[in-house]
Structure 1
Amino acid sequence: MVNKKLLSSVRFPFGEIARDTAKSAYRHECTDAAGAMAFEMVFAIFPCLLVLTALMVITGTPPEAFNQLIVELGIIIPPPLLAIVEENIEHLWRSYQSLFFFGILGVLGPASASMSTTMSALNRAYNVMEKRSFLKRRSLSLILVISMGLSLVALFNLFIFGEQVVVWMDANWAFLDIVPSLGNILHSLAGFGGTLFVVASIYRLAPNIRQRWRDVLPGSFLFLLLWSFIAGGFRYFIQSFSYYNVIYGVLGGVIILLLCAYLLALILLLGGELNGVILQHRQRENNAGAGAD
C-alpha cells in the first residue's frame, strides 16, 4: 500500500496542474505583486553592482568575469546602462572600500523589501499565514539577499577556475579538438546550476512552510525555462532592433530594465504558484489514499 501511495503522489495530470497554476496566479494577483517586486528590485540594482564590485576586489576576481557571468546567466542589462557600468567599473575598482559600505546600505533596504514582498506572495501561493515575527522575517530577507550576492561572487570565481581547467585540458587532452565548445558547455552548466540553487533556496526558505529540496524543483525548473525564453527574446530584440537606442536613448534602456525586472519577478512567482499547486495535489492524493484505507 505504501508503494501505491508513493506512485499516486507523483501521478499528476499536467493539464490540470497548468490550469490550476494559472488560476492560482490570477487569484493571488501575482501581476500586482510582481510590479511591486520589480519596483524595489530596480532601486537595488546599482547599489548591488557596487557591492559585487567590492566583493570581486576582496576575493581577487578580475572585472572581466562580471560581463561573462551576465552572459552565462542570461541576465539582460540594456546596452545604455551596461555602457554606464563599464565606464565606471575602473573607478569602482579603485575605491571599493568606501563604496562597499555605501553599497551595502543602499542594497539591503530595497532588496530586503523586495524579498519581503516575495515572501508574502509565496505564502499566498501555499495558502499559509505569515506567523513569523517582523524581526525574523526581515532577518531572513537579509540572509537571503546576502546569500544571493555571495553566490554570484562564487560563480565569478567558478568561471575563472573553469577557464583555467579548460586551458589545462586543452593542453593535455587531445579530444578537446573534437569538442571545442567544452568550455562554453562547462560555463553554461555552472550558470544553470548556480541559478537553480539560488531560486530553489528562495522557494524553500521564503514561504512559511517546511519543504524538502525536491518539493521546490518543479517551480525552479519552470523559472529557468521561462527565463531562458525571455532572455533569448530580449537578446534577439536588442540585436535585431537596436535602433530603439537611437530613438529612446537611455530612456529606452530604463524601459527594458523595468520590463526585465517585472518579468523576472512574475516568473519567480509563477514558479512558486506551481510548487504550491503540486503540494495541494499531493495532499489531496494522500488524503484520498488514507480515506481508502
Structure 2
Amino acid sequence: MPAILRIAWKVTFDALWHFSEDDGWAMASHVALSLLLAMFPFLIFGTAMASFLGADQFADTAVHLIFDSWPESIAEPISREVVQVLTIPRGGLLTVSVLAAAYFASNGVEALRVSLNRAYRVAETRAWYRTRLASLGFVIAGVLILAMVSVLLVAVPLAVTYAEKWVPQLSTVLEVVDSWGLAGVILLLVAGLFVSHLWLPAGRRKVMDVVPGILLTLAFWTVGAYGFASYLASFANYVSTYAGLASIMVALVFLYMLGAIFIIGAEFNAAIMKFKVKRLVLSSLRGRRRAGDHDEEARLKAAQ
C-alpha cells in the first residue's frame, strides 16, 4: 500500500474510532437540539439589539444568511416561522425576556464548545463563568456582524444609484458587492468555522491545523445537504408520521447530520495533529539513536 494511502487510512480510522469513543453521535444530537433551541432566542435578541442600533433590516438579513445555504424544502417552513416570530413587537434591549433570549442563545455556542473539546481530546481548564461569558460574547459578535451586513444591504443599493450618477468608475465594484448572494453566505460560514475551531475549544491550534477538518466539513455538508433534500423529495413522508411537528423534525434531523459532520471534521484535525506529533517523536528518537551509534563508532575508533 502506498505511504499516502496508509497515512490516510490511519488518520481516518483514528478519527472515526475516537468519534465513536467520544460519544460523537450523542454529542451530535446535543448540538442539533441546542442549536435549534438557540436559533429563535438568538434571532429575538438580535432583532432587539439591531433595532436599538438602527439596523431595521436585521430580520431579513438573518433569515437570508442562515437559511439560504439550507435546502429549500428544509429551510422554507422554518424561515416562515422565524419571520412570524421576529415581526412580533417587543420591548427595549434590556428587558428580562430579551436578556433571557441572549442567555439561551449562548447554550448553542456552549454545545459546540463541549463537542469540540471532546473531538480535540482536551480538558476544559477555564472557569465555567469565563466560558459562559465567552459564549455570550460570540452571540453578541454574531448579532453585530449580521447588523452590519443588514446596514450594508440598505446602503450599497443607494451607493450604486449615486455612483452611477456621480462616480461611474465605482458603480461596477458596488454592483458586485450588491449581488454578493450565496458567496457572502459561504464566506461567513467559513469564517464561523475557523472561529469555532480556533477559539471555542480549550488549548491552542494553528490555522493550518484546522484547515483539513474545515474543508472536509464543507465538502460533506454540501453532499449531505443535497442528499438529504433528495431523500425528502423522493422517499420521506414526515408529514404522515409527525403531522404538525414535521417541519421541526426535519430541521432537527438535518441539524443532527450537520452536527455529526462538524464533530467528525474536528476529529480529523485531532487525528492529523496526533499523527504529526507521533512522526516528530519517532524522527527525534531515530536521530538520537543515530547520534548514539555515531558516538559509539567514534569511541571504538579512538580505542583502536
TM-score range for the pair, normalised by the shorter chain length: 0.7 to 0.9
Counting only pairs closer than 5 Å after superposition, residues 160-175 of structure 1 correspond to structure 2 as: none
CA deviation digits over 1:210-264, x for unaligned, max 9?
1122222222222222222333345445666897558755311111121123223
Q: Tell me how far 1:169 sits from its aligned partner.
A: 8.8
Q: Distance in 2 between matches of 1:168 and 1:274?
A: 49
For 2:100, the equivalent position in structure 1 comes to: 105
Q: Tell me how far 1:47 sits from its aligned partner.
A: 1.3
For 2:267, the equivalent position in structure 1 comes to: 273
Counting only pairs closer than 5 Å after superposition, residues 1-293 of structure 1 correspond to structure 2 as: 13-57=7-51, 58-62=53-57, 63-74=59-70, 78-92=75-89, 95=90, 97=92, 102-109=97-104, 111-158=105-152, 186-236=180-230, 248-293=242-287
- Give 4+ residue runs of structure 1 displaced > 4 Å after superposition: 75-78, 98-101, 157-173, 181-185, 234-249
CA contact (8 A) 1:75 1:231 kept: yes
For 2:297, the equivalent position in structure 1 comes to: none
For 2:290, the equivalent position in structure 1 comes to: none
Q: Distance in 1 between matches of 2:244 and 2:94?
A: 24
Q: Secondary structure at the match of 2:87?
A: helix
Structure 2: where are the runs of 5+ without partners? Answer: 288-304
The one-letter code matched in structure 1 to 2:103 is L
Q: Distance in 2 between matches of 1:248 and 1:288?
A: 55
Q: Secondary structure at the match of 1:13?
A: helix
Q: Distance in 2 between matches of 1:184 and 1:231?
A: 27
Q: Secondary structure at the match of 2:188?
A: helix
- Taking a change above 3 Å as real, the CA distance of residues 66 and 167 of structure 1, as seen in their structure-2 partners, is farther
Q: Distance in 2 between matches of 1:75 and 1:101?
A: 35
Q: Tell me how far 1:138 sits from its aligned partner.
A: 2.3
The one-letter code matched in structure 2 to 1:82 is S
Which has the higher mean CA deviation after the structures are superposed, 114-123 or 186-195? 114-123
Q: Secondary structure at the match of 2:125?
A: coil
CA contact (8 A) 1:151 1:198 kept: no
CA contact (8 A) 1:151 1:194 kept: no
Give TM-score scaled by structure 2 length: 0.74
CA deviation digits over 1:52-92, x for unaligned, max 9?
22244334242443443234443775433332333344334
The one-letter code matched in structure 1 to 2:200 is A
Structure 1: where are the runs of 5+ without partners? Answer: 1-9
For 1:4, the equivalent position in structure 2 comes to: none
For the aligned residues, what is the CA RMSD?
3.7
CA contact (8 A) 1:47 1:104 kept: no
Q: Distance in 2 between matches of 1:56 and 1:75?
A: 27
Q: Distance in 2 between matches of 1:232 and 1:264?
A: 12
Give TM-score scaled by structure 1 length: 0.76
CA contact (8 A) 1:33 1:121 kept: yes
The one-letter code matched in structure 1 to 2:245 is L
Q: Tell me how far 1:163 sits from its aligned partner.
A: 5.7
Q: Secondary structure at the match of 1:127?
A: coil
The one-letter code matched in structure 2 to 1:105 is A
